[in-house]
Every structure is written in structure tokens, then in C-alpha cells.
């Protein structure tokens, strides 16, 4: 009997869906700001054939029709050609639940529910983790625990899909875990269909040189994600973008398919509930000492000065006590901008564990400039050790969080519980378990809990206004 159950489970995991190449998922689309009538993009992936799709959604009684559009055809090696579709769900009530269904030739084949983005004064409950789709038991257990939290949305802090962010890797490591039909700690959870995913690219999603001879299906992020396009106006081939080389046909196909997203979608900002997010590509092909980028971050934070909370998110952490990636400190170049812009939290991944700093301000060594290829940024930090995130919840400085334990193999387990191996700025360090951050952002309080893949609380603190 057990054998038959396992056989059935095995077959169903590998069985092709008759309708979807990949099942529906929700994206923010190019909607950086909250709207009186909210919107989300309902996306899904179809086989490479013409299909008579219909999309409907409802917040009350009546179904409203949305117009599906084929965004692109993805035709790369290693994976069958497929078509990415999107339908704008355009008249949602802020913070209210809705249901959608997809039909083929009038016959409903898929239905799910979610919640529209919450308005500027509303509390929100969201989850952040990075370094995740690596096809590990930890990744699947984290997905399962995250679903139990019922977050309003999820932010992935980079290194979304290992090991090269390829279309073929999304097929095996991303969709089956985060859009599993059933919640199961050994499989994953049906998150993508019902929970808005946002995120940022890391070094495994995008590299300084993308060689299409080696990675013919690389940069899949730009095929599947739909995020705000309000970052610096980058163009293919411009400075601060990855260099594309190799097979010219594949390259042209990629550029044609992703003309609306690549490379613009690498940096953006958005609002959700009481939080403003500034999202940054911290890969080494970006020069964060360049005026263009610095001014964009400054202006974005200034424009968000009335938001209750400001979060900046990117992949490579500036203040890290792990021996792994210790020298990669380039993004410290932005610390003074975060401080002046009154940033509350900086969230990163890259280092596969959990770390929290004391609130800090950072002064770069006078006269220092980052040489080409250099990664270390020396300077002096000032720490607010009186902040305890409980009785004293008003930090002097910025809190830097590393939440890179979302699934990939953990780093530096030996430093867990060994403060003598941490730098002075580190307050918490948990490297013996996979984990994720759960944040509740209310009007006067922001609470972060770090939760393990087994559902155990590892850390907790509160920020107060």
C-alpha cells in the first residue's frame, strides 16, 4: 500500500499538467505606488500552442473579465518552448480578498484566491528570505513553514534559483516547490498562485558576463517576473548591466523576448501597506559609486520620506560576520545614503545564515576610493548597543539583516553560538538551521521574527516610532 502511495506521488510529481506548462502565479507588475483601485498581474505559462484562454476574477458577487495577453515565447535549449501569459486584474479593492479563475474554451480549469495590495495606512504581514531554490530539503521545509504564516506577500533577497538562474533550473527547483499543489514539508506549498512574490536578483541569477554558449537559458528572471520598472533607465549593453556574449541567435531571441524587462527590472521601488521598499541590484557589474545610481537611491528614499517605514533590499550584505563572503563589502558605499534617507532596515541574503547587526552608522575611511576589482571598504562603525528591540525599540542607526538561509546549503555552522568569531557590529548570528524572516509592519511598530524551517522562533525584535 505504502509502495502504491509513493508510486502515485512520484508519478503525479512528474505528470505533465494537461493545460499549464507552469501553473498561475501573481506579480505586482509595473505598479510601484498604491492605487485607489489596486491591480496585480495574474501570470501563467502555457504550452507552445494557441489556446482560447479566459480570465475572470471577483471581489464580490459578479465575475469581471480580464484580458489575457501573451507576453513572450520562451524558446531555449534544454526546455520545451513555452508561452508566458499575463492578465491584469485591474479593479481590486485595496487589502481585500479576491478569487480568480482561468478557463479554456469556456471551461474553468483553475481557480485560486489572494488579497489585493494593502493601502498606505494598513498593517501588513510579510516574509523575506534569500538564497533559496537549490533543490534541498531545507528549501522545501522553508516553503512549507512560510505558507503556514499566510503572508500578504513574499520578498526573495536574491539567489532566487541555483546555480545560474536558468529557465531549466526554474523548471526543477522553483515552480515545483513554490507552486506545489499541496502543502507538504517534503515538497513545498501552493504559494505562487495565492501569494504575491517580489524579489531581487543575486549573483546566481545574473552574472557580470552572460555567455549564451554556456548558459543558453540564463537570466530567466527577466522572462518570468513582472515588477515595477521605475529604477534607473538601463538599456541592454549600457554600463552597470551584465555583458551578453555567445550565440548571437540565442542572444537576439532573449533580447526580443525580454525587451520590456531587461535590464530595467533589476532595480525598482514599491509601496505595500506602511512600508516603502527600495530594491537594488548589488551585483559587481554595477558601480555604486556612480552618481547616476547614488542619485536614484537618494531621490527614491527622499520621495518616500512620508512612508512609515523604509526598507532597502539587495543581495550582497555590507555588514557580515560570516567567514564566507567576508570581503565582499562594496555596497557599504551606500551606507551614508541609507542613514540620510532614514532607512529602518536593510535586508540581504548571499551569506547562507541569519545575522542581525546592532543599529549602526558607518563612516568610510577618509580619502578612500574603491579601486576597480576591489571589494573591501574600510571605515568606522558607530553602534547603538542600548537598542534591545524590546524595552528600547528606537534605534540610532540602520539595522542590517542577513536572511540568506532560505534553502541553499548553510554557511559557517561553526560560528553559531560563538560570538568571539563575529565582528563587533553583529548582535545575532544563527547558522545551524534554515530560516526566514516574518515581518509585521504596523503604523507605530515594526516587528521581525526569524523562524526556522521547523517553525521555531530564532530571534525577535521590535522597532517603534
Nine cell digits for residue 210: 552572460
Q: How far is the CB of 320 from Fe ion (least distance, A)?
A: 11
Please identify, using beta-carbon distances, which residue of 343 and 402 lies nearer to Fe ion. Answer: 402
Residue with cell 516574518: 438
Q: Which of 27, 203, 355, 437 binds Fe ion (CB under 5 A)?
A: 203
Q: Are 26 and 117 in contact (CB under 8 A)?
A: no
Please identify, using beta-carbon distances, which residue of 193 and 315 lies nearer to Fe ion. Answer: 315
Q: How far is the CB of 360 from Fe ion (least distance, A)?
A: 22
412: left (phi over 0), alpha (psi -120 to 50) or beta: left
Please identify, using beta-carbon distances, which residue of 29 and 202 lies nearer to Fe ion. Answer: 202
Closest CA to 315 of 364, 361, 280, 277: 280
10 CB-contact burial (10 Å; exposed 0-12 / middle 13-18 / buried 19+): exposed
Q: How far is the CB of 284 from Fe ion (least distance, A)?
A: 11
Length of the chain: 465
Whole-angstrom Cα distance, residue 434 to residue 430?
Answer: 9
Identify which range of 100-108, 193-201, 329-337, 342-350 contacts Fe ion by CB under 5 A.
342-350
Q: CA–CA distance from 331 to each of 145, 158, 201, 283, 459 (Å)?
A: 31, 15, 15, 9, 25
Size of the site for Fe ion (CB under 5 A): 4
Identify which range of 195-203, 282-290, 366-374, 433-441 contacts Fe ion by CB under 5 A.
195-203
Q: How far is the CB of 30 from Fe ion (least distance, A)?
A: 26
Q: Which residue is nearest to Fe ion (CB)?
A: 350
Q: How far is the CB of 323 from Fe ion (least distance, A)?
A: 15
Whole-angstrom Cα distance, residue 124 to residue 109?
Answer: 31
DSSP-derived 3-state class of residue 407: coil
Whole-angstrom Cα distance, residue 33 to residue 42?
Answer: 18
- 230, HSE (Cβ side, Cα atoms, 13 Å): 18
Please identify, using beta-carbon distances, which residue of 159 and 281 lies nearer to Fe ion. Answer: 159
Q: How far is the CB of 401 from Fe ion (least distance, A)?
A: 15
Please identify, using beta-carbon distances, which residue of 134 and 335 lies nearer to Fe ion. Answer: 134
Please identify, using beta-carbon distances, which residue of 161 and 265 lies nearer to Fe ion. Answer: 161
Mark 267-286 with x for binding to Fe ion (rule: CB under 5 A) and - for no binding. --------------------
Q: How far is the CB of 399 from Fe ion (least distance, A)?
A: 21
Identify which range of 4-12, 91-99, 201-209, 228-236 contacts Fe ion by CB under 5 A.
201-209
Identify which range of 39-47, 194-202, 418-426, 457-465 contacts Fe ion by CB under 5 A.
194-202
Identify which range of 96-104, 198-206, 257-265, 436-444 contacts Fe ion by CB under 5 A.
198-206
Q: How far is the CB of 250 from Fe ion (least distance, A)?
A: 25
Q: How far is the CB of 331 from Fe ion (least distance, A)?
A: 13
Quick count: other Cβ atoms within 10 Å of Cβ 33?
12
Closest CA to 375 of 332, 410, 404, 320: 332
Please identify, using beta-carbon distances, which residue of 274 and 283 lies nearer to Fe ion. Answer: 283
Please identify, using beta-carbon distances, which residue of 114 and 203 lies nearer to Fe ion. Answer: 203
Please identify, using beta-carbon distances, which residue of 203 and 322 lies nearer to Fe ion. Answer: 203
Quick count: other Cβ atoms within 10 Å of Cβ 449?
17
Which pairing describes strands 379-383 and 360-364: parallel, antiparallel, or unpaired? antiparallel
Whole-angstrom Cα distance, residue 321 to residue 98?
Answer: 43
Q: Which helix (H) or strand (E) segment is 66 a member of?
A: strand 64-66
Q: How far is the CB of 139 from Fe ion (least distance, A)?
A: 15
Identify which range of 28-36, 52-60, 105-113, 203-211 contacts Fe ion by CB under 5 A.
203-211
Identify which range of 95-103, 211-219, 347-355, 410-418 contacts Fe ion by CB under 5 A.
347-355
Whole-angstrom Cα distance, residue 204 to residue 178?
Answer: 18
Please identify, using beta-carbon distances, which residue of 199 and 397 lies nearer to Fe ion. Answer: 199
Nine cell digits for residue 260: 520590456
Quick count: other Cβ atoms within 10 Å of Cβ 148?
12
Q: Are 437 and 449 in contact (CB under 8 A)?
A: yes
Please identify, using beta-carbon distances, which residue of 164 and 350 lies nearer to Fe ion. Answer: 350
Compute φ and ψ for 189, nearest 5 degrees. -160, 155
Determine if 350 is a binding residue for Fe ion (CB under 5 A).
yes
Quick count: other Cβ atoms within 10 Å of Cβ 355?
29
Compute φ and ψ for 71, nearest 5 degrees. -80, -40
Please identify, using beta-carbon distances, which residue of 42 and 331 lies nearer to Fe ion. Answer: 331
Nine cell digits for residue 322: 560570516
Task: Scan residues 114-173 and list those touching Fe ion (CB under 5 A).
Answer: 159
User: Which spans in 53-113 are helix H?
Assistant: none
Q: How far is the CB of 325 from Fe ion (least distance, A)?
A: 8
Q: How far is the CB of 406 from Fe ion (least distance, A)?
A: 11
Identify which range of 77-85, 197-205, 285-293, 386-394 contacts Fe ion by CB under 5 A.
197-205
Task: Scan residues 387-426 and list those touching Fe ion (CB under 5 A).
Answer: none
Residues that bind Fe ion (CB under 5 A): 159, 202-203, 350
Amino acid at each position: 500500500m505504502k509502495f502504491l502511495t509513493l508510486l502515485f506521488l512520484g508519478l503525479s510529481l512528474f505528470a505533465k499538467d494537461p493545460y499549464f506548462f507552469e501553473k498561475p502565479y501573481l506579480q505586482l507588475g509595473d505598479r510601484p505606488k498604491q492605487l485607489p483601485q489596486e491591480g496585480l498581474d495574474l501570470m501563467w505559462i502555457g504550452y507552445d500552442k494557441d489556446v482560447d484562454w479566459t480570465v475572470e476574477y471577483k471581489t464580490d458577487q459578479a465575475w469581471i473579465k480580464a484580458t489575457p495577453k501573451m507576453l513572450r515565447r520562451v524558446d531555449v535549449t534544454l526546455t520545451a518552448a513555452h508561452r508566458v501569459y499575463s492578465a491584469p486584474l485591474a479593479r481590486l479593492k485595496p487589502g481585500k480578498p479576491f478569487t480568480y479563475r482561468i478557463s479554456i474554451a469556456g471551461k474553468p480549469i483553475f481557480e485560486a484566491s489572494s488579497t489585493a495590495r494593502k493601502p498606505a495606512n494598513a498593517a501588513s504581514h510579510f516574509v523575506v528570505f534569500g538564497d533559496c531554490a537549490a533543490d534541498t530539503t531545507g528549501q522545501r521545509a522553508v516553503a512549507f513553514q512560510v505558507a503556514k504564516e499566510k503572508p500578504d506577500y513574499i520578498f526573495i533577497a536574491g539567489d532566487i534559483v541555483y546555480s545560474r538562474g536558468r529557465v531549466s533550473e526554474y523548471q526543477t527547483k522553483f515552480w515545483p516547490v513554490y507552486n506545489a499543489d499541496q502543502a507538504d514539508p517534503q515538497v513545498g506549498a501552493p504559494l505562487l498562485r495565492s501569494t504575491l512574490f517580489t524579489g531581487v536578483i543575486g549573483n546566481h541569477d545574473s552574472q557580470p558576463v552572460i555567455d549564451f554558449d554556456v548558459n543558453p537559458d540564463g537570466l530567466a528572471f527577466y522572462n518570468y517576473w513582472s515588477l515595477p520598472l521605475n529604477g534607473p533607465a538601463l538599456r541592454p549593453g549600457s554600463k552597470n548591466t551584465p555583458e551578453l556574449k555567445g550565440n548571437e541567435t540565442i542572444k537576439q531571441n532573449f533580447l526580443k523576448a525580454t525587451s520590456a524587462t531587461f535590464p530595467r527590472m533589476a532595480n525598482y521601488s514599491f509601496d505595500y501597506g506602511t512600508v516603502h521598499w527600495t530594491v537594488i541590484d548589488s551585483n559587481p557589474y554595477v558601480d555604486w559609486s556612480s552618481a547616476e545610481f547614488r542619485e536614484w537611491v537618494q531621490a527614491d528614499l527622499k520621495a518616500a520620506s512620508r512612508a512609515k517605514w523604509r526598507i532597502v533590499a539587495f543581495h550582497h550584505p555590507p555588514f557580515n560576520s560570516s567567514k564566507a563572503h567576508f570581503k565582499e563589502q562594496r555596497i557599504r558605499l551606500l551606507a551614508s545614503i541609507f542613514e540620510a534617507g532614514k532607512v529602518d532596515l536593510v535586508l540581504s541574503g548571499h551569506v547562507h545564515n541569519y545575522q542581525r547587526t546592532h543599529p549602526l552608522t558607518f563612516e568610510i575611511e577618509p580619502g578612500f576610493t574603491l579601486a576597480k576589482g576591489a571589494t573591501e571598504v574600510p571605515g568606522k562603525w558607530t553602534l547603538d548597543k542600548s537598542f534591545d528591540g524590546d524595552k528600547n525599540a528606537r534605534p540610532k542607526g540602520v539595522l542590517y539583516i542577513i536572511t540568506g538561509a532560505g534553502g541553499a546549503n548553510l554557511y559557517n555552522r561553526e560560528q553559531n553560538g560563538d560570538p568571539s568569531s563575529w565582528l563587533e557590529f553583529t548582535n545575532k548570528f544563527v547558522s545551524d538551521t534554515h530560516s526566514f524572516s516574518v515581518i509585521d509592519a504596523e503604523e507605530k511598530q515594526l516587528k521581525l521574527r526569524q523562524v526556522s524551517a521547523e517553525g521555531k522562533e530564532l530571534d525577535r525584535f521590535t522597532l517603534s516610532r
